[in-house]
Structure 1
Amino acid sequence: MLVDKLKHLYSQDVVQALPKNPEDYLWIKTGDGEPIGIRKSRLTNQEETLLRTLYPGEPPHGALDEEQSKWSLFLYGRKTDGLQIEEIDAVRFIHFDMKEASLDHSSFEEAMQGAFPFPFLTVWENERKGVIIQQEEADYEDETDSIIAALTADFYNELSLYIGQELDEIKSFSEFLRQFDLEQKWFEIARESLPKKVVYHHYDMLPYVIYHDTSAETLAYLTGLLESVKTEKELLYSIKVYLENNMNISVASKKLFIHRNSLQYRVEKFIERTGIDVKTFKGALLVYLAILARDMRA
C-alpha cells in the first residue's frame, strides 16, 4: 500500500489524521481517496513536485476545534496533549464508515447532531470514516436503524455504525486506546461477517469475532451439527428466534406469528432430529453458535 511505502521512507513524518498544524504537511490522496500528510520539511523540492503531480490532494477536513483536535491527536496520533484522564468520566465510541467519501463534513456532522439525542464530538480518521465520542448517557439504541436510514437518504451515501461499549472508571490512556483499537477491528469483522446490516452493537459481535479467528475445521464441525435439518429453513429460523428470546415459547411464537403449540412442536422436532436439547443452556448455546456459523457460511 502507498501509505506503508511512504511510512517506510519518511517514518513518523507521515500522518493520516489531521494534526494541529496541517499547513506544515503536503497532502496527497491515495487511489481510494484517503488523505495522507507528509511533513514538508522532509521533502526535497523535486519530491514535493513529483508527489503533487502524481497524487493531488488536500487536508482531510477543515479546522478542528480544540476538543476535537485533542481527541484526534490521541486516537490517531497516539499523543495525549491536552487530555486529562481524570476529567473523563465515561466515554462510548460510535464508529462510522461511509461507502463514499463525504465532501461536506460539516453538513454531515450537523445532521448527525440533529439525529442523535445527545451532544458529542466527531473525529474523522479520513474522508470516509471516523468516530463519534459520546460522553453523556442517552437511550437511543432502539432508534439507530431509523437514524441511519434517514442519514443515508439525506446524503445519498451508505452509512454503517458500530456502537461500542461504555467505558467508565478508565485508569489509563492505554486502556482507552486498547478498547478503541479492539472496536475498530471488531467493526471490520462485523461488516465482513454481516454485510447487510448497517448498525452493529458490541454485545452482539463476540460470536462472529470468535468465528473470525476459528479454524475451518471447527466451523465445519459446528455447521455439521445441523446436517439433519440443514434444508429446513423454517425450522432453523424458528429455533434461532426461540433461542434469541431466551427460550421463551410465548414470546418467540408471537414474534414468529404462530401459535405457541406450533413452536413447541418445532422445538421438539428439532431435538428429535439433531439429538441436541435446546431447552437446556448448554444445548441452546451449542445450537445458537452452530446456526450463526451456518449463517456466516451461507
Structure 2
Amino acid sequence: MDMRKIKHLFSRFQNIIDDEISLMDDRGYVIDSSNPEKVGDYDTVCSFIEIDNEILSMNDKLYYSIHTNYGNVLIISINGNRVENRRLLQLIALFLSENLNNMTKEDFFKGVIQKEFNHDEIRELSSKFDLEFDSMANAIVIRLSEEIIDEAYSVITSMYPEEILIRLNSNTLIFIEIINSDHDYEDLEQSIYDTIFSELLYEANIGVGVVAQNLSYLHESYEKAKLLIELGIRFTDSKKIYYYNDLLLPILIDNIDESKLKEILDCTNSNVKSMLLDKELFLTSTKFLENNLNISDTARKLYVHRNTLIYRLNKIQNITGLDLRSLNDAIKFNILMVGYKFLKMNSSD
C-alpha cells in the first residue's frame, strides 16, 4: 500500500480540523494523527469491534472505515460526537477513497519500483490490471534533462503506445518491458536511444536493469538500472547505454569499502594514478581497452598513425611498468585505473 500517498492526503486535513483526527489500519494501529504522541499506538476499540460501512460512536469518538482497491481497510477517527464531525468524517473518507482507489496501471508500476506495495498486494493488483504476476519484467531507466523530458515522453509513447512508460521525476523516465509478452522488441533500449537522438538531438543515458523473475522483484531491476547509469557516467566515456555485464568491474569496486580499496591500490608498485592526469595517454589507454587491444582499430578510432599509437603504448609501459598489449597487464591496468578513478571521483563529491 502507498502509505506515503495516504499520509500526504491525510495531512491536508490535520491543519484545518480543530479536533484530534487519526488514521489507523484495521488492527487499530495509528499510522498518522494530528496528535503526534498517538502515532505508533493502538486504538483498542478497533481490535474488538468491527467498523464497516457506517459511522461508529464510542467514548465520544467517531470511527469510519475505508476499503481500498487492493484489499486493505483503513479507519479514520475524530474526537467529539457532534453532527459537524460526522459530516467531516464522511467527507474525509470520500476524499481519501476516491484518491486511493483511482489507481492507474502506471501508478501501480511506479509503486512497485518504489517498494510501496508488499508481495501480496502486488499479486492482487496484478490481476486487477490483467497482468500475470509471474511475468518476467525489466526496468529500463532513461535519464534526460528537465527541458526535454516532456517531448521525450511524447516521442516514446508514440513509438510504443501499448507499453508502460513512467515519469518518475523531472529528469527520469522508466520503460517497463514485460518479457515474452505479445510485444517483444529487439534492441529496445537502442531504439529508444536512437529515436530520442534523431527527434530531439539529445543523447540520453539509459540503464538496462536485470530481468526480474516476477513483478514483485521489478524494484530490484530498477535499482540496478539506476546504479548502472551512475557508474556508467563515471566510468565510461563513449557509451550511453549501460548493461550490467559491461560494468562488472565498476560494480565490484563500488562494493569495496573505500579505505580498503585505497589500501589495496597503495600496495601496488604501478604508477597508474598519474595516468589520470595525462589526458592524451588516458584517452589512448581507454580506447585501446575498448577496442580489445587491437592496434589498428584503436589507431583508426583515435585518428592517429599506427606508429603514433605504438609510441604512446610504449610511453604508458615506461610510466606504469604495464604493457597494455599483454592481456594480463591490460587487466591489471584496467582494475587499477578504475579503482583510482573511483577514489578520485569520491574525493571530489
Bin the TM-score by the shorter chain.
0.5 to 0.7
Q: Which residue of 1 aligns with 2:18?
A: none
Query: In structure 1, how many angstroms separate the alpha carbons of the residues matched to 2:191 and 2:211?
Result: 18
Q: Per-residue CA shift, 1:13-39, capped at 9, x if unaligned?
A: 6145xxxxx8x982779xxxxxxxx89
Query: In structure 2, how many angstroms separate the alpha carbons of the residues matched to 1:256 and 1:212?
Result: 29
Work out the percentage of aligned pairs sharing the same amino acid. 18
Normalised TM-score (structure 2): 0.54
Q: Which residue of 1 aligns with 2:252?
A: 210
Shift of 1:282: 2.5
Q: Which residue of 2 aligns with 1:183?
A: 224
What residue identity is the alignment partner of 1:255?
K
**Structure 2: 5+ residue stretches without partners:** 13-31, 33-64, 67-73, 80-87, 93-98, 179-183
Paired residues for 1:215-234 under 5 Å: 215-217=257-259, 218-219=261-262, 221-222=264-265, 225-227=271-273, 229-234=275-280
Paired residues for 1:102-121 under 5 Å: 109-114=153-158, 120-121=163-164
What residue identity is the alignment partner of 1:110?
S
Shift of 1:180: 2.0
Q: Which residue of 1 aligns with 2:207?
A: 162
Residue 14 of structure 1 pairs with residue 3 of structure 2: yes
Q: Which residue of 2 aligns with 1:4?
A: none
Normalised TM-score (structure 1): 0.61
Query: In structure 2, how many angstroms separate the alpha carbons of the residues matched to 1:146 and 1:137?
Result: 14
Shift of 1:276: 1.6
Judged with a 3 Å threshold, the aligned counterparts in structure 2 of structure 1 residues 273 and 120 are, in CA distance, closer, same or farther, namely: same
Q: Which residue of 1 aligns with 2:336?
A: 290
Shift of 1:187: 4.5
Structure 2 counterpart SS, 1:262: helix
Query: In structure 2, how many angstroms separate the alpha carbons of the residues matched to 1:273 and 1:127?
Result: 45
Paired residues for 1:6-45 under 5 Å: 14-16=3-5, 26=9, 41=74
Which structure has the larger Rg over C-alpha atoms? 2
What residue identity is the alignment partner of 1:26?
L
* Kept in 1: contact 2:138–2:177 (CA 8 A): yes
Paired residues for 1:121-270 under 5 Å: 121-125=164-168, 129=172, 131-135=174-178, 136-142=184-190, 144-149=192-197, 160-166=205-211, 170=213, 172-173=214-215, 176-177=217-218, 179-180=220-221, 182-183=223-224, 186-187=227-228, 189-190=230-231, 193=234, 199-217=241-259, 218-219=261-262, 221-222=264-265, 225-227=271-273, 229-270=275-316
Shift of 1:287: 1.1
**Structure 1: 5+ residue stretches without partners:** 1-11, 17-21, 30-37, 53-58
Q: Which residue of 1 aligns with 2:36?
A: none
Shift of 1:137: 2.7
Shift of 1:108: 5.7
Number of aligned pairs?
Answer: 251
* Kept in 2: contact 1:93–1:164 (CA 8 A): yes
What residue identity is the alignment partner of 2:278?
E
Bigger RCO of structures 1 and 2 (CA < 8 A, at least 6 apart) = 1
